Amino acid sequence: MIFRNWPEQIPRSVAVCPVQLPGRVGRLREAPFTRLLPLIEAVSSAILPDLDRPFALFGHSMGALICFELARHLRREHGLEPAQIFVSAHRAPHLEELGQRVYDLPEPELIAFLRHISGTPKEVLEHPELMQLVIPIIRADFELIQTYEYRDEPPLDCPISALTGIEDPDVTVEQMTAWCHHTTGAFTVRTFPGDHFYLNSAQPLLLGALSQDLQRRLNEL
């Protein structure tokens, strides 16, 4: 749903194809993934028929990890590589995760953590029935991230753009800069005003930057 208005603000030469994971919106009745590898395999199978043309990948937070491992999976299993990947608001994957284990916290502590990171609307946090729907998905997402184990592979050849909110309390610019180790191509870091969810508050700036990068890559291909 975050990406619903992106097609209107991205160049017409680029098709925006959001991936809806199980457990969300129209897939609420499906169990969310708790491990990354099965998720990558499922996404790869779903999008493979459309990868007969140049493609780029964008992922925010957990999506950045999905984006990165999907790119490596496509290279490893199908000999395909994106024209570019955009990783947003997630530390480089080889950096050790030192944060608190969240996915098995008691519910009151989990809700307190969600308030702290400001990622869940206040209206949702204060709606008990809605929280009962949301909490299993949130736990699954945190479990997927916090059970991830990085495995060393050669860097990708495609350019990587690392994007982050300058006020993100959980991800530093230095941690985003470390993504440079995962490409032999061009690498850029861009910061935007806002916190971990800058892609909502600074959406026009973000989409402007994405449009410029995508148009540049199209001109190079």
Please classify residue 75 by burial: count the beta carbons closer than 10 Å to its beta carbon, then call 0-12 exposed, 13-18 middle and 19+ buried: middle
Which residues partner with 87 through β-bridges? 59, 162
Residue 118: active-site member:
no
Pull the structure tokens for residue 20: 């809806």
Please pick, among 13, 44, 45, 61, the residue that the annotation labels catalytic.
61
The three-state secondary structure class of 142 is helix
Residue written as tokens 């619903």?
4
Q: How far apart are CA 72 and CA 193, in angstroms?
A: 30
| Cβ-Cβ contacts under 8 Å for 201 (sequence gap 6 or more) | 193, 194, 195
Which residues partner with 56 through β-bridges? 84
Nearest to 161 by CA among 97, 95, 212, 219: 212
Which amino acids are annotated catalytic?
61
